Amino acid sequence: MTKEWKSVRLYLVPSVIYLIHNNVQFATLTYVDPSTYQILGNLKIVTTGILFRLVLKRKLSNLQWMAIILLAVGTTTSQVKGCGDAPCDSVFSAPFQGYMLGILSACLSALAGVYTEYLMKKNSDSLYWQNVQLYT
């Protein structure tokens, strides 16, 4: 079991990222309605897949890439509102700040998850000890 401060302090990083992420989620909810928030939450899957590929060098199959692309396109198109015959002030159904905070939330969540996975894979301690360090 690793008890060195250098190793243990690495587990503080995901907790700080999740702390920021939780606050960004509440800020997002001030700009968007709950259904839009849930749809924007699906972007976590997209950003996690991309970060897994970039950071952990994991190969994704063509089917997995297609699923990520379809999810991103579906999330985007679900937020475009139709104007019909009336003139449109905005194409999107929520303020721009809400979308940016939703994207930031997705990126923070993915970053924390991928970083935690990275810590778990590079450490040779038992999974139980790693969980104790992580939850502490």
The predicted model gives 54-76 an average pLDDT of 85
Residue 102 burial (CB count, 10 A): 28
| CB atoms inside a 10 Å sphere around CB 1 | 10
**Least confident residue range of 71-80, 87-96, 104-113, 118-127:** 87-96
Confidence band for 19, pLDDT divided at 50, 70 and 90: very high
Average pLDDT, the chain: 82
- pLDDT of 83 higher than 60: no
In Å, what is the CA distance from 122 to each residue of 37, 103, 110, 116? Answer: 34, 28, 18, 10
CB 109 within 8 A of CB 121: no
Structure tokens at 117: 């996975």
pLDDT for 87 equals: 55
What pTM was computed for the model?
0.76
- Per-residue pLDDT for 57 more than 90? no
Residue 3 predicted with pLDDT over 90: no
Distances (CA, A) of 121 to 39, 70, 99: 31, 29, 33
CB atoms within 10 A of CB 89: 6
Residues of the chain by 3-state class (helix, strand, coil), percent to 5: 75, 0, 25
